[in-house]
Amino acid sequence: MIEVVAELSRGPVFLAGEALECVVTVTNPLPPTATSASSEALAWASAQIHCQFHASESRVALPPPDSSQPDVQPESQTVFLPHRGERGQYSYSEVLPIEGPPSFRGQSVKYVYKLTIGCQRVNSPITLLRVPLRVLVLTGLQDVRFPQDEAVAPSSPFLEEDEGGKKDSWLAELAGERLMAATSCRSLHLYNISDGRGKVGTFGIFKSVYRLGEDVVGTLNLGEGTVACLQFSVSLQTEERVQPEYQRRRRTGGVPSVSHVTHARHQESCLHTTRTSFSLPIPLSSTPGFCTAIVSLKWRLHFEFVTSREPDLVLLPPLEQPEPVTWTGPEQVPVDTFSWDLPIKVLPTSPTLASYAAPGPSTSTITI
């Protein structure tokens, strides 16, 4: 019996362009009564990164596969050949493609990353060990070239880093700077909300670009409205849309090429409310906005308002009464409903933060 253990030392979440490092340990656990003849031999082992793509046949019309395109081969060595005297521990490192899609499980398509380790015992079939990964993509990094000067040297002269480590740390630092610069800018954006009969209120938001894990905070001022608002709800949603050239033609009652998923929601009754606010958390486990040749994912705030058709609607008893009376509100109020969508941008966050907040399996074991 041979036990193979694969461990991702930094966690299961990575940024596209980073180097994935995995330590593979091969052991031959034997009981105390076993002899040297009971030991097993490993013929070979191999590790590769795969991105599995799945498309819904009812939503996506894919072209036939092009057999003239060759398979992409890894640039680095992925086969581990055991040699006499080795202790059975191997290190695998590979750079995740910076132009690849992010990990995503949607209604129309799915992009699933995994590290596949294949190994074979002598005179036995091949066994596969799959380690799931999560890949975050920050657009724009593919246009940046890694500098070849002293600017990428370690910040401390007492620390030693190899060239791959310097490039990896430089890329992570650059991504962090870009995320901070894009999401730290704050300026009040005001939007007038109106229906066909007049102004309902004013919506205010301090920024339109967020990172995973942040809260979307907004304010709603209803005191300046001329139309009474009875209730409102706001939902944090993603819109998954199949690109036009890959949309399957819809028939009567067919599946649409656009789907929405709600990640957080706030609902409030707001008659006689002058000002209110809400806070919607962006889950760390969700996927930032992205666009590929087949599908795009965008984020938005979806508002729904319930307004009164009656002008100057009053549903509270008068403050002063000449004599005691029993006051009851109206049994029915004619209302109108309308919706409004506000697009926002959601970018990735630090892979380390995503690993701590939503931990996944970083160690996998198989026995052959």
Q: Where are the alpha helices (DSSP H) in 247-313?
A: none
In the prediction, which pLDDT does 152 show? Answer: 42
Tell me the mean pLDDT in the region 92-116: 91
In tens, the pLDDT along 292-308 reads 999 999 999 999 999 98
Higher pLDDT, 4 or 150: 4
* Mean residue pLDDT across the chain: 81
Residue 238: Cβ within 10 Å count: 20
Are the C-beta atoms of residues 287 and 297 closer than 8 Å to each other? yes
User: What kind of fold does domain 184-311+333-347 have according to CATH?
Assistant: Immunoglobulin-like (2.60.40)
What is the structure's pLDDT at 17?
85
pLDDT at residue 174 greater than cutoff 90: no
* CATH of 3-63+74-138+351-367 among 2.60.40.640, 3.40.1350.10, 3.40.50.300, 2.60.40.10: 2.60.40.640
Give the mean pLDDT of 185-202: 91
Q: How confident is the model at residue 158 (pLDDT cuts 50, 70, 90)?
A: very low
Q: What is the pLDDT at residue 249? A: 72
Strands 209-211 and 335-347: parallel
Place of tokens 């132009």: 99
Distance of CA 65 to the CA centre of its chain: 28
Q: Could you please report the per-residue DSSP string of 227-242?
A: S-EEEEEEEEEEEEEE
CB 232 within 8 A of CB 276: no
More confident residue, 65 or 154: 65
Domain ranges across the chain: 3-63+74-138+351-367, 184-311+333-347
For the residues 196-215, what does the mean pLDDT come to? Answer: 93
- Quick check: do 3-63+74-138+351-367 and 184-311+333-347 share a fold? yes
The pLDDT of 307-327, averaged and rounded, is: 72
Using an 8 Å Cβ cutoff, are 341 and 302 in contact? Answer: yes
Q: What gap in Å lies between CA 161 and CA 154, rounded to an integer?
A: 7
Model pLDDT, residue 78: 58
